[in-house]
Amino acid sequence: MTLSPTYSPAPSNRSISLERSSTVLEQTVEQAYLRYDSVLTEPLLNRFDPSYPPSKAQVVPSGGRAAAWFIQLLPFEAVLRHFRRGGLMRHFVRDRYIWTGLVHTRSFAEFDLLREMWLAGLPVPRPLGAAVWREGLTYRAAVLTQRISNAQPLALRHEPSVWHEAGRVIAQMHQFGVWHADLNVFNLLVDANDQVWIIDLDRGRRAGLTNVQRAENLSRMLRSIRKVVPERESSCWSSLKQGYQSLANQG
């Protein structure tokens, strides 16, 4: 099976592990609700629009339902993602969700979970901003995260050591109590130093993770391997499980 990279290398080698001392700010602008990291040094609302010229947006060829772009966002390079529906609903409603309060919106919930993980030192991209556009009983949403330099999806890597590290990172996420709603070979990225990063925490949550939920996450990962890179199940899957157990047994 031939795969095309989901994430092309970022042109900058800026470290993603920057100082973790910023605060979260909120603002309402032009009927949009914004939540963002105070490290950002410029007006933000336009940055959620991929057509904004200074962003120099480039489409992320992810193959998923979410519309995503690489953008320039001083002092960072970032990923902008607009939330899109999946399943049968996508045929009727492309990008609208039922309003049940700002804290429950997809973008704010993901921003908050990512920030909690990032502040704890877990390998996730730094959350930079979240936007919500409410119209009556529905809303649209988008999120901004820092781009991970020189990264490619786990699906493109075959080294047992990398898959062992992927298993260890999943176990680290589980020890922190986080359940990933869509754990698969494209939502784990590997950078130039073979560090594994967890991305796309949409619908993820941190609330009393059970053994059943842990097992379900791993089963989802196995299904992803069998669908995308079935030839690697015998070698890479066993390495991932070993990596998972190497940390899980310490917990």
**Residues with catalytic roles:** 182
User: CA 81 to CA 79: how far, in whole Å?
Assistant: 6
Q: Which residues pair with 198 in a beta bridge?
A: 188
Residue 14 carries which side chain, given as an amino acid letter?
R
User: CA 11 to CA 161: how far, in whole Å?
Assistant: 26
Q: Per-residue DSSP letters for 126-156?
A: PEEEEEEEEETTEEEEEEEEEPPTT-EEGGG
User: CA 237 to CA 244: how far, in whole Å?
Assistant: 10
User: CA 191 to CA 1: how far, in whole Å?
Assistant: 22
- Contacts (Cβ under 8 Å, ≥6 apart) of 215: none
User: CA 216 to CA 213: how far, in whole Å?
Assistant: 5
Q: 67 by DSSP, 3-state: which?
A: strand
